[in-house]
A and B are shown apart, each in its own frame.
Chain A
Amino acid sequence: MTKDRFEFAILVLACAVVVYMLISILYLYVAVGESWNLVVNALFDGRVLGAIAISISSAFIVGGLAIATAIPSAYLLTYRSFRGKEIIETFLIDLPQTFPPVTEGLVYLLMFGRIGLAYTYIAVIIAKFYVSAPFAMSFATRRFREIRETGLDVIAKSLGAKTSHVLGKVLLPLSSRDLLAGFSLTWARAMGELAATLVFAGAIAWKTETIPTLVYLTAAEMPQVAIAASIIAETLSIAALLSFKWIARRRQ
């Protein structure tokens, strides 16, 4: 057997990346050391509980809104040809994922602050939606385009289907796994969003304070609370993502 040194080098590099990413995620559980009682206590802390409630509820609302808006957006980008379509797609999907969230938070503060939306729960939703929804839009658009390539939409129409039938009986059932994947990534991104939320919605306990803002504000003065909140957030995110993946696999 001849040794393929190049392949060996690639595999070593890949393993190094895997180990680095795993440590980056799991180190928090090591960092907490023997202070697990702090984590348990944090679960009963009013401020932490509030942040968990705001984070989770807003992430689910953002996930739902993202799917609801991803479907028409994906339909438009898949089935309509118009001038500037590529630019619209960039603004809708690519830019929000690369645009500095803190800047978008400021934009929203200037835009919606004057109508009294700043520092409210709705502000949390608006801020998180901008940076998270593109994941759902991207998944939906890619899947709709794949289905269009198969010509199943044309066949459905030849059988008398209207747009509502094509969407409800072909596009959505065949995209369900991708929409679920888009929802789960949107949810996870929304859970972790900090900058836009902090600038536009602030950090009012039981109103706009989320886990990331709580961690940011307590990291210097109360690191135990920050670590405990981080562990709770991380555990929730890992559990949720694995659950979504499990559901998606069952639907396959």
Chain B
Amino acid sequence: MKGLYVQNVTKCYGDVKALDQVELAVNPAEFMVVMGPSGCGKTTLLLVILGALSPDKGHIWINERDVEELPLNERNIGYVPQDFGLFPHLNVHENIAFGLRVRKHSEEKIRERVNQLLHIVDLEGLESRKPKELSAGQRQRVALARALATDPYVLLLDEPLSNIDEATKAEVRANLKEIQKKTKVTTLCVTHNPEDSFQLGERIAIMYSGRIIQCDTPQNILEKPKNELIRKLVAPMYILWKNDSARK
């Protein structure tokens, strides 16, 4: 299939199964969220897809290609870690241009693409700032722009809102969703936060102890949770969702 397909992936750390026969398909241009408690294997899943970790079993397919043999730097996957991972010695422009520069694009093309991305993430005028001179929300947008610069096949987001303060979280979340819609990049986001999951995801995969236990639309997960555990995990969202429906 086009998009991202995680086929029966298992990954162990010693005796601990971090990923246990994980099966997950993300459609092209879809925003999929993997939600689960801390330590359930979410970040391991991202690192296996990215190519930073090798699975013990299973395959990763990107746009109908098994990427098992492809090294990390040839997979063309955009990755935004929890702390955004900006290069501290480079300014905003240089951070965004990094992937284009190592691919030896012309300076003119780099400038054009960086300007386009600065416009998309609404950071025009901040090109020469260093990461430490930016707010958390701005750093996140730089990291997004950098990850999108090379037109990746897939975008991976690791807890993208965990470093954003509550006051600006709703705005940053809306921005994130808008940028994903504009760029139409196939996106897999992992988070432990039910509210972020339900606000961002077109579909949500619930992960627990290294397994995907339900994958469906937010509404279906709320209305038809597969078991009691899922009902408990999404309970806070059920109340919000009902209130929203009542208001509408």
Question: Could you tell me if B73 and A157 are in contact, using CB atoms closer than 8 angstroms?
Answer: yes
Which of the residues B51, B76, B102 comes within 8 Å of A161, measured between beta carbons? B102
Is B225 in contact with chain A by the CB < 8 A criterion? Answer: no
Whether A160 contacts B99 by the Cβ 8 Å rule is yes
A159 touching B81, Cβ below 8 Å = no
- Bound complex: CA A165 to CA B90 (Å): 14
- Check A158 against B102 for contact (C-beta < 8 Å): no
Q: Check A151 against B98 for contact (C-beta < 8 Å).
A: no
Knowing A154-B50, A154-B52, A154-B72, say if A159 contacts B102 (CB, 8 Å).
yes
Asked whether any CB of chain A lies closer than 8 Å to the CB of B248, the reply is no
Task: Contact check, A169 vs B50: say whether CB atoms are below 8 A apart.
Answer: no
Q: Check: B190 CB closer than 8 A to any chain A CB.
A: no
Q: Which residues of B contact A170 (CB under 8 A)?
A: 87
Contact B88 A159, beta carbon cutoff 8 Å:
no
Chain B residues with Cβ below 8 Å from A158 are: 50-52, 72-73, 75, 77-79, 147
Counted as pairs of residues, one from A and one from B, with CB atoms less than 8 Å apart, the total is 63
B85 CB–A CB distance under 8 Å? yes
Interface size on B, residues (CB 8 A): 28
Say yes or no: A155-B73 contact (C-beta < 8 A), given A160-B102, A169-B98: no
Interface residue B182 (Cβ < 8 Å from any Cβ of A):
no
Those of B74-103 within 8 Å (CB) of chain A:
74-79, 81, 83, 85, 87-89, 98-99, 101-103
In the complex formed, the residue of B with least CB distance to A164 is: B102
Question: Complex: how many Å from CA A159 to CA B72?
Answer: 9
> What are the interface flags for A169-189 relative to B under an 8 Å C-beta threshold, 1 for contact and 0 otherwise?
110011000000000000000
- The answer to whether A151 and B102 touch (CB under 8 A), given A159-B150, A161-B73, A174-B88, is no
Contact (Cβ within 8 A) B89 A159: no
Residue of A nearest to B74 (CB): A160
Q: What is the CA–CA distance of A34 and B223 in the complex, to the nearest angstrom?
A: 95
Contacts of B79 in A (CB 8 A): 154-155, 158
Which B residues from 96 to 141 make CB contacts under 8 A with A?
Answer: 98-99, 101-103
Asked whether B85 lies within 8 Å of A151 as measured between CB atoms, the reply is: yes
How long is the Cα–Cα vector from A162 to B71 in the complex, in angstroms? Answer: 10
Task: Answer whether residue B146 sits at the interface, using C-beta atoms and an 8 A cutoff.
Answer: yes
Residues of B within 8 A of A160 (CB): 73-74, 76, 99, 102-103, 150
Kindly list 5 other residue pairs between chains A and B, CB separation below 8 angstroms, not including A154-B79, A161-B98. Answer: A158-B73, A158-B147, A159-B98, A160-B103, A169-B101
Question: Would you list 20 pairs from A and B whose C-beta atoms are within 8 A, ordered by A residue?
Answer: A150-B83, A151-B81, A151-B85, A154-B72, A155-B87, A156-B87, A157-B52, A157-B73, A158-B75, A158-B79, A159-B73, A159-B98, A159-B102, A159-B146, A160-B73, A160-B76, A162-B73, A170-B87, A173-B89, A174-B87
